[in-house]
Structure 1
């Protein structure tokens, strides 16, 4: 079997990147701790700093200031080939004139591994990504998903201490992307090494990650497990970027949120804030004791198989959405009541900037 070391821990300390002529840092004093063997995802919109952070860890971008520790060794000034990190790109980056097996063998030959050992490792790596019978094919003879599997095999064949993956599924269609998500999760489990994965796809991040670091404007807004980020976001930015939400902004006093046009029950500290309610927690129909109820007009109903997404405009102002699994007979233009338990809403720090738009 392929020899895989125990996953290395990766830590950045005040990691900063300022591009020449830029007004603000692309990465601004980022402190990130990736635990040994962890699957950490860097998530955020375009321009948030996630890919630049990964490229500095990989050695493809120079560091303006700060440290990058692989376990206890500062690698910030080492060239990429001395960092012992595997890298997978969105574009596959395969050599078109080499077969799949030759592409996978390339990092081993660069390390002067013996011919017999190269053959053994390549064979095992291709088997691990279910391409054992395709080693003699050129990249042009492989599908996009197969090419990405070759790229994955090439990245782990030399037993790196961590794998860095830069939006590796971004060029694939939805069905193939979901299939390869399962493959990547399986590889992480079987290889036992640290994965750092960059994406702007929220569903992908939730499905794959042990923890997620949400990036915004070159900084980390929040780090946590998928459940922690979805259920208890710390800010309106995180809540609206990671999953769908209905948001009510206002001032909270004594358990009542004053939006200026409505009074809503909410649990949180007094002050300016935003109340976030996920669509699966909202219901069509008036709520009972311990609930909030608002009158609204249905603006659209979107069929999505297992549920329907009901979009509404509240009489008190603002819009929202309900994930309806009961098959309620509503259509655009209908008058409805929308309710949710007080405990279903999460009070977060408000933001004066526009809500994030996924890349």
Structure 2
């Protein structure tokens, strides 16, 4: 299978809603989302945010309460799953244990009554695509978890779907294998050219794989953007604290200054913005080195230093009782501090982002000020 053999579909949802009987609120609440043809779109959010329910409605496994799902302009909400021309990959692989890898991959083609010669050709091509051509005769029990997931990927693309839906496909794998399969999934997307819709709660995975990310919260989409847009310019307190580590200083903004009640911090923008959260990523903070002109400078006490291989996290408590963290690489970082040491932490004025102040109640963290 080559990219010119499969064309990606444009997927749109319009006011897509799912309400379960007896529920206090919709599981998915009037979601509008456009996924361009050939795009890698990730639906990201905490448990219960509506991302998997949205994917299951796209697949046809959940009935739509109201709204539309359009595939290249045609409403497919009434269309049964097997007629939507969408591939699906699950977290638990969902392979038939009594069938070989080749037989599992061939299954959707047999259901579509494809001829034997064509089935053999497509199965061989799909297994080669996931580098399992020499494992065609093995049962799932004879394959590793990563190999089983590759068979599931091959089965999902062998009938040449217009889009591939992936429901946390790497969640059951260990970290190293998960990272390896992330590269495989990215390669498959590039080679096949079809639309990928990927569900995960893993922020790093979403940042690594996606063309764009839709961040879900309480059944709605909080923000849609590229990985860099969401990380560098979050539109809300929730997105800022859910996607990556953040130092958060809450207060009132006026004339480009945030008054927290215990300190005043320079921030981008000059208009009055009322209650805000100033978000600063930990890699933008520095300890010890001379601060540049206009930098924010705060005194703090080091509460812990965590070595994490490629970088170290320095946990601090700012004067005023607000916790925070600084991150630098172990190779080039200059941070040499210990627990209990008094330090000055600084960052450039333009390193922070102002967002409307609101409690990130779906995110667990050590404090309201620094959330991992």
TM range (shorter): over 0.9
Q: Does 1:346 align with 2:353?
A: yes
Q: Does 1:72 align with 2:73?
A: yes
The CA deviation at 1:353 is: 4.5
Equivalent residue number for residue 342 of structure 2: 335
Q: Does 1:196 align with 2:194?
A: no
Q: Could you say what secondary structure the match of 2:68 adopts? A: strand
TM-score, L = length of structure 2: 0.94
The CA deviation at 1:317 is: 2.7
Higher deviation after alignment, 137-146 or 347-356: 347-356
Q: Do 1:185 and 1:208's aligned partners in 2 also have CA atoms closer than 8 Å?
A: yes
Q: Do 1:308 and 1:327's aligned partners in 2 also have CA atoms closer than 8 Å?
A: no
Unaligned runs of 5+ in 1: none
Equivalent residue number for residue 368 of structure 2: none
Unaligned runs of 5+ in 2: 366-371
1:282 to 267, 280, 285: 285
Higher deviation after alignment, 344-353 or 166-175: 344-353
Q: Do 2:238 and 2:359's aligned partners in 1 also have CA atoms closer than 8 Å?
A: no
1:302 to 301, 306, 315: 306
Cα displacement string for residues 135-175 of structure 1 (whole angstroms, at most 9, x for unaligned residues):
00000000000000000000000000000000000000000
1:293 to 285, 294, 297: 297
1:272 to 272, 275, 280: 275
The CA deviation at 1:327 is: 4.1
- What is the RMSD of the two structures over their aligned residues, measured on CA atoms? 1.3
Q: Could you say what secondary structure the match of 1:322 adopts? A: strand
Provide the rounded CA distance (Å) in 1 between the counterparts of 2:205 and 2:284.
22
Q: Output aligned runs, 1:24-43, within 5 Å.
A: 24-43=25-44
Equivalent residue number for residue 60 of structure 1: 61
Equivalent residue pairs, number = 359
Equivalent residue number for residue 154 of structure 1: 155
Provide the rounded CA distance (Å) in 1 between the counterparts of 2:69 and 2:322.
44
Q: Does 1:315 align with 2:319?
A: yes
Q: Do 1:58 and 1:80's aligned partners in 2 also have CA atoms closer than 8 Å?
A: yes
Q: Could you say what secondary structure the match of 1:133 adopts? A: helix
Q: Do 1:10 and 1:68's aligned partners in 2 also have CA atoms closer than 8 Å?
A: yes
Q: Do 1:236 and 1:355's aligned partners in 2 also have CA atoms closer than 8 Å?
A: no
Equivalent residue number for residue 117 of structure 1: 118
Provide the rounded CA distance (Å) in 2 between the counterparts of 1:141 and 1:204.
28
Provide the rounded CA distance (Å) in 2 between the counterparts of 1:240 and 1:46.
15
Q: Do 1:240 and 1:355's aligned partners in 2 also have CA atoms closer than 8 Å?
A: no
Provide the rounded CA distance (Å) in 1 between the counterparts of 2:229 and 2:169.
25
Equivalent residue number for residue 182 of structure 1: 183
